[in-house]
Structure 1
């Protein structure tokens, strides 16, 4: 296994899909599941050498930084493989905070999206059984260049056939490429 060294930190941002609706329809289930969710998220981030941001409460999501992109990707995989019912995580991993937020926001519950920059940094250092599926290219932010967009795949994860949550113009560009 080859380790790619990078001077940039990797960001992992996660949000829970449909949490507002779940808090309204299943408040007791959500309240009961929240301590396990927080403990699991805190454990996996620490286990992979990440640092949790204290700016965002760990109720509807969280942000963590990692010194190595491979650690952020590995943490994302473990989080997605771990049952966190009723929480369903949408995860983005990138080397900029803005781009990571964009990836997180277009992902579906149970899906991890990774930027091409991050994918290059983890080449040859993916967790066992993990692969990356190319989904196209898009801008991660107004000031950022086009970036390859990849999905973290693993036999234990769901397969996605739904289009990503993007404006139609961006989605059309990805489908054409």
Structure 2
């Protein structure tokens, strides 16, 4: 049953509007469990959301069962209302063991009025975004995030969840999650068909010649939590570190992340660079760093920190992050070691064509004797597929 607010309400916003869609996770199970008490519980929960909507200048357009649809003339007001509503809902003593878990979706787009309601594609998109989430979670579209990037409520972080396909939406939608202090920020993956988390660079050529090192490094990564690949520029630290991460990414439920540090000017900004890479977003650097430590506490991530040599004073921050996140590990590439507790340094040596059999050489002394030749042949064929050694 669909209803509109029986009390007088503000006029529906026009132009660019931010839509809020909410519903209760597992509502059918609650109906069966609570019986006649469900109606009162549902009315209370809807009333709490309505109050938050009213307090921030929004309009409750309609409700349908346990779902509510509201509109706001400003995105920041919609975000503030959703945050206040989640706080109120999760603080309330509900007559169910795990509480009442309400999922929320926010999307900003051009409003199309249809009488005393809205119609059109943007409304459907808002509903799809809400349906992708979980109870207690607030999910934002990219358009809403862009409007509130510098205007989030105090302490609230906006975390990038990546691109996700949504039903009846022609292109994947980049979605974000609001992390609210004091409320859970850990949820299962969104209810879409999105692939694994992470941002490791796509390999454009075959990886050859470092199989021995990969084995050595894999054992170091299993034995410890911080592995630093050292060596001069251009020797292959980045490709080796990335391939190591790719080989082990499946072991980390919250993704394998590549953090490029060549554009980071100060050691104090390393934590901010990590936070932004994995999707935590906030304006002030210190807030982003603090949010990262809190977020990482129960996460399992593999983080590649590339080109660390100009930021060695930030080594202590890397250790602090790993201490805060027992399930995570870090791979660092640098021209010099970090010289911090728990670091395992692995010097990367040039590919060799010396002819010395790999079985006669310790693993740390480089790749197999044919590795450099094999790599050259592979790269040559990438340019000229029919090329054969000795043909010219």
TM-score interval, normalised by the smaller of the two chains: 0.7 to 0.9
2:40 match: 32
Q: Deviations over 1:14-52 (max 9, x none)?
A: 010011110011124423323322321211111111111
**Bigger CA drift: 142-151 or 60-69?**
142-151
Residue 175 (structure 1) aligns with: 197
Q: Give the distance between the partners of 1:142 and 1:35, measured in 2 at CA.
A: 31
Change (3 A) 1:143 1:110: closer
Structure 1 residues 27 and 108: alpha-carbon distance in aligned structure 2, compared to 1, 3 A threshold? same
SS at match of 1:165: coil
Supply the distance in 1 between the matched residues of 2:40 and 2:27 (Cα, whole angstroms): 14
Segments of 5+ residues of structure 1 without an aligned counterpart are 1-6
Aligned-partner Cα distance in 2 for 1:35–1:93 = 22
Residue of structure 2 equivalent to 1:104: 130
Partner secondary structure for residue 80 of structure 2: helix
Larger CA deviation: 117-126 vs 35-44: 35-44
CA contact (8 A) 1:107 1:165 kept: yes
Alignment length (residue pairs): 166
Separation in 2, partners of 1:144, 1:157 = 33
Query: Which portions of structure 1, spanning 4 or more consecutive aligned residues, are displaced by more than 4 angstroms?
Result: none
Q: Which stretch has the larger CA shift, 23-32 or 71-80? A: 23-32
Q: Partner of 1:3 in structure 2?
A: none
2:23 matched residue in structure 1: 15
User: Residue in 2 aligned with 1:149?
Assistant: 175
Match of 1:164? Answer: 190
TM-score, with normalisation over the residues of structure 1? 0.84
SS in 1 for 2:197: helix
Describe the SS at the equivalent of 1:109. Answer: coil
- 1:51 equivalenced with 2:59 (yes/no): yes
Q: RMSD across aligned C-alpha pairs, in angstroms? A: 2.1
Of the three residues 72, 86, 89, the one matched with 1:66 is: 72
Q: Distance in 2 between matches of 1:49 and 1:87?
A: 25
1:118-147 CA deviation, whole Å, 9 max, x = no partner? Answer: 101011111111110101013456455443
The DSSP-based 3-state class of the residue aligned with 2:16 is coil
2:107 to 66, 75, 94: 94
CA contact (8 A) 2:137 2:187 kept: no
1:49-108 CA-partner distances (Å, limit 9, x unpaired): 111113x33x41100000011111111111111135343111000022122111110100
10-19 vs 139-148, greater mean Cα deviation: 139-148
Does the aligned pair in 2 maintain the 1:98–1:140 contact within 8 Å?
Answer: no
Taking the aligned partners of 1:52 and 1:161, their CA distance within structure 2 comes to 27
User: Larger radius of gyration, structure 1 or 2?
Assistant: 2
TM-score, scaled to structure 2: 0.40
Secondary structure of the corresponding residue to residue 75 of structure 1? helix
